[in-house]
Amino acid sequence: MIEIKKLHKSYPIGKDSLHVLKGIDLHIKEGEFVSIMGSSGSGKSTLLNIVGLLDEHDEGDYYLNGQLIKNLNEKKAAILRNKFLGFVFQSFNLISYKTALENVALPLYYKGVPRKERLKTAMEYLDKVELKDWANHLPNELSGGQKQRVAIARALVTQPKVVLADEPTGALDSTTTDNVMDLLRDINDEGMTVFVITHEEEVAAQTKRIVRLKDGVIISDELTEKAKAV
Amino acid sequence: MFDLDRWREIFQSISKNKLRSVMSGFTVAFAILLFTLLFGIVSGLSNSFKDAFADDAANFMSVRVRKTTKPFKGLQTGRIIQLKNKDYNFVKDKYDSKIELLTARVNKNVNISYKNKQDNYSLRAVHPDHQFLEKTIIDEGRFINNRDLKEKAKVIVIGRLVKEDLFGEKPALGKRVNVSGISYQIIGIFSDDGGDNEERFTYMPVTTAQMIYGNNDLINQINIGYSPDLSLDEAIAFGNKMERDLRKALDIHPDDQSALSIQNMAEANKGVGTFVIALYFIVIFIGSGTLIAGIIGISNIMIFVIKERTKEFGIRKALGAQPSSIVGMVVQESVLITTIAGYLGLSLGTYILSKIGNSLEDYFITNPSVSPGIVIGATVVLILSGLIAGYVPAKRAAGIKPIVALRAD
């Protein structure tokens, strides 16, 4: 599903450049539930942004769903994101003036789905994250956990190949963290590839494979107890 | 091209962000309002100028004579110049092709009485064309005609106020009045837009007056309506030539402005025309300045709005929005706001102008209004400005990498 070979990425800082990713090799198969761990500055967010086509890599190869990602223009990247990827962000990133339902339906708008069908599908996914009753509420009327569930519903609504979650529990307390992780696990159980970035051990422990990143290189890549339990 | 979903997105974005929509709209509406008022008031001013000369025909020319101020051919200064029928005929024969209307005029003061009522009035003894040159409006009966001239008929046309003085509400047409001892029949009653003074005049055939008052061929004034085929410049040239010819015929020094002069409406018209054109240039200058200020205003607001929405655009892009859809959305929203706001400003402006109507006539502003051409032009400018004001910053915002846009706050 995701295949990365010798991936390099640096950011220019003034005259110098900061080498963030120093040759990452990573292969994630369909249906995996992977977490990337690392302290801040380890390059994990950069990796996710590249995987999510929100940023471009400098060197190396990246195949998404068997397709080589190279020299994408904004338009092509947008189409691929819409088709293959679902995003869950730490800060939820819901559009503040749209209701929960409209937020969930938005990716379908960019996919060109007719309005009626869009709202119907969005409602199904809201139901799936148990927020059907909150469909017509604005984001600021929802709790943090509810917002993140709306965001997850939004990530799933286009039936992407991969769900990318960037610190999905970073802004949540421990109870809601568990809820959100349960939800992600349920999604994974249904066969979705889920890619989580976190710096919390407890969160990573809920996934099936942990990739540890330090200073731009992978230092370990192992299956968790959960994966072995299955 | 019509995309209901796109419009829905735009209406939602406008209605959920009322403050910024109203702010950007207000700038445009205000600019257009000022623009409309400015244009309206100038049109009102130019209307006033045109009205100021409306009393007489626009192609009016008048030959007037006084004393000479320069000696010529052995004749002394201070000689009183007197126009005669031969001068009238001279003008009539010589310039026939350039003249549309022509009348001589003899001015007298007369006492007119009817039964026990009587008063003093100004009498003008004229040719039939005088009616059109002076824009005399016949309310009842008719004006002097050629037969009256030929027969030296004792007929008189009286002004509306003369009729009121002598007859009150009673009918006057066909009645006979006593003019300085001689009986005349009233053949017409007239009014005049030139005001009350004009309606206290009386008219009779020039031939009748010449016969009765001294049996001579003297006239006080020759009035001419130059041919409408002449351009303003040609009409001015015509006036100058006739002035020289008449001075020569009457043995007046060629430069003696006082002895014989021709008052030419063409010159006044040209002056007014130039003034109005200058006025419009000033207004176009200030008006475009106002519009440009409005456009800059909305551009600034759009830049601010788009900065504020950068994160939203980042989210939309992460969810699969293509840059073109972001640009399209912003531009469409901006055009919609400018168009609606501009239209409101325009409507309010025209409404105010229509309310002003003629109430500012004392300030030299008559019936101010804006022409449809200006309205359409302003609307096009508005839509274009909305397009530009939205496009430039939106294009830049859409070009920001989603990862950068998402980090924005």
Closest partner residue to A79 (CB to CB) among B314, B316, B320 is B320
The answer, for A55 touching chain B at a CB cutoff of 8 Å, is: yes
Tell me the shortest Cα–Cα distance from A205 to chain B, in angstroms: 28
pLDDT digits (tens, 9 = 90+) for B207-224: 988 888 888 888 998 988
- Residue B213 is predicted with a pLDDT of 85
Rounded average pLDDT over B354-358: 77
pLDDT digits (tens, 9 = 90+) for B130-173: 888 888 888 889 999 989 889 888 999 999 888 888 888 888 88
Residue with structure tokens 């996934």?
A207
Q: B22 and B259 in contact (C-beta within 8 Å)? A: no
- Residue B24 is predicted with a pLDDT of 77
Chain-chain contact of A93 with B324 (C-beta, under 8 angstroms): no
Count of Cβ atoms closer than 10 Å to residue B264 Cβ: 23
Tell me the shortest Cα–Cα distance from A211 to chain B, in angstroms: 23
Rounded average pLDDT over B361-375: 74
Residue B316 CA to chain centroid, in angstroms? 57
Confidence of residue A135 (pLDDT cuts 50, 70, 90): very high
- Domains in chain A: boundaries: 2-229
pLDDT digits (tens, 9 = 90+) for B48-74: 776 666 556 678 888 888 888 888 888
Say if residue B286's pLDDT is above 80. Answer: yes
Chain-chain contact of B319 with A49 (C-beta, under 8 angstroms): no
Chain-chain contact of A81 with B8 (C-beta, under 8 angstroms): no
Chain-chain contact of B322 with A98 (C-beta, under 8 angstroms): no
The answer, for B387 touching chain A at a CB cutoff of 8 Å, is: no
The answer, for B289 touching chain A at a CB cutoff of 8 Å, is: no
Q: What are phi and psi of B380, to 5 degrees?
A: -60, -45
Closest partner residue to A109 (CB to CB) among B5, B311, B399 is B5
Tell me the shortest Cα–Cα distance from A213 to chain B, in angstroms: 21
Chain B CB contacts of A111 below 8 Å: 320
Say if residue B409's pLDDT is above 90. Answer: no
Chain A CB contacts of B8 below 8 Å: 115
Chain B CB contacts of A93 below 8 Å: 311, 314-315, 318, 406
The answer, for A75 touching chain B at a CB cutoff of 8 Å, is: yes
Confidence of residue B268 (pLDDT cuts 50, 70, 90): confident
Rounded average pLDDT over B94-105: 87
Residue B335 CA to chain centroid, in angstroms? 36
Chain B CB contacts of A54 below 8 Å: 318, 401-403, 406
pTM of the model: 0.67
Q: Per DSSP, what are the bridge partners of residue B121? A: B110
Q: Per DSSP, what are the bridge partners of residue A68? A: A63
The secondary structure element, H or E, covering residue B178 is strand B176-179
Chain B CB contacts of A74 below 8 Å: 317, 322-323, 398-399
Q: B30 and B345 in contact (C-beta within 8 Å)? A: yes
Distance, CA of B165 to CA of A16 (rounded, Å)? 104
Confidence of residue B1 (pLDDT cuts 50, 70, 90): very low
pLDDT digits (tens, 9 = 90+) for B110-125: 888 888 888 899 999 9
Closest partner residue to A97 (CB to CB) among B4, B5, B17 is B17
**Amino acid occupying residue B102:** L
Chain B CB contacts of A98 below 8 Å: 12, 16
Q: Is A165 helix (H, G, I), strand (E, B) or coil?
A: strand
Q: Is B363 helix (H, G, I), strand (E, B) or coil?
A: helix
- Domains in chain B: boundaries: 4-52+271-407, 82-249
Q: Is A218 helix (H, G, I), strand (E, B) or coil?
A: strand
| Mean pLDDT score of chain B | 84
Q: Is A30 helix (H, G, I), strand (E, B) or coil?
A: coil
Chain-chain contact of A95 with B317 (C-beta, under 8 angstroms): no
pLDDT higher at B334 or A106: A106
Q: B65 and B335 in contact (C-beta within 8 Å)? A: no
Tell me the shortest Cα–Cα distance from B338 to chain A, in angstroms: 22
**Domain A2-229 belongs to what topology?**
Rossmann fold (3.40.50)
Range with the poorest average pLDDT among A75-84, B24-33, B331-340, B353-362: B353-362
The answer, for B324 touching chain A at a CB cutoff of 8 Å, is: yes
Rounded average pLDDT over B253-279: 82
- Residue A208 is predicted with a pLDDT of 92
Helix axis angle, A144-156 to A100-111, nearest 10°? 20
Q: A92 and A151 in contact (C-beta within 8 Å)? A: yes
DSSP state at residue B230: S
Say if residue B16's pLDDT is above 80. Answer: no
Chain A CB contacts of B317 below 8 Å: 74, 78, 81
- Residue A137 is predicted with a pLDDT of 94
Distance, CA of B174 to CA of B182 (rounded, Å)? 16
ipTM confidence: 0.90
pLDDT higher at A95 or B258: A95
